[in-house]
Structure 1
């Protein structure tokens, strides 16, 4: 049965799609400013929620073109982090995911006038040997926004050390028809190759398959474009065939590896 929070959730989800679509357009145009809001107007709460969800990915167009983080987006993200503080996590592992997502956004904000001191979470994620590669790869998919140039830390060290598990997770998601999680893991593999690591999976066919049979969301299209840019080299086009990385028409997110925003309690997941 629908609840009172359903319209708000839908409004916030639509805002995430709009912000992701705008960020993708800036990336395809070769960088610049996303102009997400009128600087002279009150920022709508759904837009702030969407900016909070995108986090570090707001700066992907600049980082992938060797530019500094966009000041306008940084101002919005700083405001969003005040409006929507990190929620109480449901588990210790979820706390680490939220902590590392906030760490990445904070590291990039620190390069702008809107930053502050950034403290990493007290511990890294569990490794594949401890929790199994399936559970570990799911968590890494939730942390795909860390797979960006100039960010580095314990999560990145884990990606470097476990490219085989990332490849296993990607293939498993493709077989399970979960392109949302698959593209996030493929993005980590593309980041690892850009970092000079040998891969255990041929990524081009994977990205092509996701491009033509993905979930259709702007969020996944942005993940796909970032992965393709990392794979081709930071100054290359989004697709080896000249494509823009688009995954088709938009629809709400939802998969085992998805993340989003709970409009009622401010929880990222």
Structure 2
């Protein structure tokens, strides 16, 4: 498109119409600046710009042209759109929603996700909620689910792991007594002056009001791969169930449960 020329008292003003930009005007020839025929081209919006709530980036478009794109890899077919403005900047025509999708299968659970906004947490039952085991996922900034509390892979209801100590120590401080014994991985009080000593793979024996509380104790310790719970007793192990059953007796218990595969 040719440029607009405005002669005013000997001064020449060369401009482009709205929505166009000048791409040619001066050229250096023989060490002198010389005018070329001015050329105005439509202003474009840039490519490679990140799009909010989408994994896509912009493609170049001319003024008033519309760019459509998938929201978060097109999950559920959600589409967004931006229009190239007259100033060469993108204008949001149809924004991608800032949420994580529903209907996504949850590992080790019979549930599927419900839609949540960014940073909101979704809680759900593990394996039909056996004994109240719960998991949690948080909606990430990119619209993808982030595992906050995973459901374990293996659940053995009506089972309990029977453990025995390998010895005792005369002490009122069981933690110190365990530290002084290279074989010991955990020590608990037997009497006011004696401690029962336990060895790996067990590393915790203690009280938990509910299975969920025992579950939380396990999740907070990177060593935990298996837990055994019965009558407020929570026992944590640093090996999987297959190894546990070769080292300890597994007994039937209506009130017991073994959870593994963390």
TM-score by length of 2: 0.22
Structure that is richer in strand per residue = 2
Structure that is richer in helix per residue = 1
Higher normalized contact order (CA 8 Å, seq sep 6+, divided by chain length): 1
TM-score by length of 1: 0.21
Task: From the CA coordinates, give the structure whose radius of gyration is larger.
Answer: 2
